Structures are given as structure tokens and as C-alpha cells.
Amino acid sequence: MASSFTVITRASVAREQLFDLSLDIDAHLASMSASDERAIGGVTSGAIGLGETVTWRARHFGVWFTMTSRITALDRPARFVDEQTRGPFRSFRHEHVFEDDGDGGTVMTDTLTLASPVFGALAERLILVPYLRRLIVERNRHLVDALDAR
């Protein structure tokens, strides 16, 4: 059984700006520096596009993980989806939705759906979901701060 959660982030920037930065490998790496994340295969710098892959290597829970993700849907500037094609999860899908807030800003909604091959639903809800939620909140804060600084 898969676990799912949503993170909503509000930003005072145009959705095109936040959308484009969300697809930028370098921005992602900067936001994940605490886990020593690196892009080691596929698109390793700049913007990633529809059908393209990136292989990440990062340390989480003191263990090194490698995961390859593909952009499986992209509708600029409204939505894109990345999904694990190889890695530690039985399944991992991350949908990013960008909507105008009516005041010149953006509401970004991240919905993650994942299934662990080892831990099961209880561990997903108690350990993985809170951990990943915190990572997404930190990543989004980094992206918004980077755009605000411009």
C-alpha cells in the first residue's frame, strides 16, 4: 500500500519563475546540500525536461541512496511530474502543481505518493512521510528565498 502527502507553498513570485526554478537541477542540489546530494547521471545541471532523467546520489538516515527519476508529465507553467524509474522505493511519484494566487504570486502544491519495499505502511507514515515532508518544505523554502533574493 502506498502513502501520500501534500505540501502547499505560497510565494510572492510569478508561477513561471517558480516553475522554471523547480526544474533546475542546480537549484535542487543547492536546496539539498545537507544530504550531500549530487546529480551523477542523466541531466546533471540546468533545466530538466519532459522524458529526461536524472540520477541522484544522497545520504539519508546515514545511508547512501541512488535514485533515478524521469519527468513523465510537463505542462509549463502549470504542472510537472517526476517518478522514480530505479531506486530505493517500490514506487515514488512527485506531482508539482503551480497556480496563480490572484495577487501576482503563486501557490505551489507538491503531492508525493510512495511505497517502500521494506518498511511497510506503518513505517512509511511514521518515518518516511515526516522525513520527506520536511525535505520538501526545506527545498521549497530554498527555492522561494532564491527567487525573493533576485
Cα 79 versus chain centre, distance: 12
C-alpha cell at 103: 495577487
Q: Is 40 part of a structural domain of the chain? A: no
Please tell me the pTM assigned to this model: 0.94
How many domains is the chain built from? 1
Q: Is 43 part of a structural domain of the chain? A: no
CB of 141 closer than 8 Å to CB of 120: no
Domain range for 93 is: 3-24+70-149
pLDDT digits (tens, 9 = 90+) for 23-59: 999 999 999 988 899 999 999 999 999 999 999 999 9
CATH code (residue 76): 3.30.530.20
What pLDDT does residue 105 have? 95
Q: Is 146 left (phi over 0), alpha (psi -120 to 50) or beta?
A: alpha
